[in-house]
Amino acid sequence: MSMGKARRLMAGILILLVVAIGLFAIQLNIWLKPVPAMATQEPVIVSIPSGSSTTGIAKILAENGLVRHATVFRYYAKFRGKDQGLQAGNYLFNYGMTMDDILQKLLDGEVYRPTITVTIPEGYTVEQIAQRLETTGLVDADEFMELVKSMKPALGEVSPQQRYALEGYLFPDTYEFALDVTGEQIIERMQNRLSEVLTEDLRQRAEELNLSIHEVITLASLVEREVQVPAEREIVAGVMHNRLKKNMPLQLCASVIYALGVHKTEISTQDTLVDSPYNTYQNLGLPPGPIASPGKSAIIAVLYPADVDYLYYVVKGDGSGEHYFGRTLAEHEANINRSKQNQKNH
What are the tens digits of pLDDT across the range 260-311?
A: 988 777 788 888 889 999 999 999 999 999 999 999 999 999 999 999 999 9
CB within 8 A of 68, min separation 6: which ones?
30, 31, 32, 33, 35, 62
Q: Residue 342: helix, strand or coil by DSSP?
A: helix
171, 191 contact by CB (below 8 A): yes
Q: How much is the average pLDDT of 146-150?
A: 93
Which pLDDT belongs to residue 133? 96
Q: What is the CATH number of domain 43-112?
A: 3.30.1490.480
Which pLDDT belongs to residue 286? 96
How much of the chain, in percent, has pLDDT values that exceed 90?
A: 63
Helix (H) or strand (E) holding 93: strand 89-93
| pTM exceeding 0.85 | no
Distance between CA atoms of residues 54 and 68, nearest Å: 15
Q: What single string gives the DSSP state of each residue in 121-148?
A: -TT--HHHHHHHHHHTTSS-HHHHHHHH
Distance between CA atoms of residues 252 and 279, nearest Å: 8
Which pLDDT belongs to residue 68? 82
**DSSP state for residue 43 in the 8-state scheme:** P
Which pLDDT belongs to residue 7? 60
The residues of the chain that CATH labels 3.30.1490.480 are 43-112
What are the tens digits of pLDDT across the range 5-43?
A: 656 556 555 555 544 444 444 444 544 555 555 544 688
